[in-house]
Amino acid sequence: MSITYLKNLMVATSCWFNALLAGWPDERFSSRAYRWHVNGKCSWPMYLIDAIFFFDPDHCKSSYEGELIGRFRHRDYR
């Protein structure tokens, strides 16, 4: 399996999990956790996710910013 394949599976799982929890189906859960933090709803999901992805500083914030500019869309849709 390639790294790209595994990354795609992780992205799909994150979007699926977010949709399962009544979130937007095309948003990663990390992005949603950052939105919750910024909007004052709750911060613990962002802190937990960022701790899990300790090797990726500000993972949730980066995910949110990526959603805003469409970084995660396939290159054919950019």
User: Cα separations (Å) of 22 from 2, 11, 17, 29, 65?
Assistant: 31, 17, 9, 11, 21
Provide the number of structural domains found in the chain: 1
pLDDT band at 63 (very low <50, low <70, confident <90, very high): very high
Check pLDDT > 90 for residue 17: yes
Average confidence (pLDDT) over 47-73: 91
Query: Which structural domain range is residue 10 located in?
Result: 3-77
Q: What is the pLDDT of residue 52?
A: 94
Check pLDDT > 80 for residue 40: yes
More confident residue, 68 or 45: 45
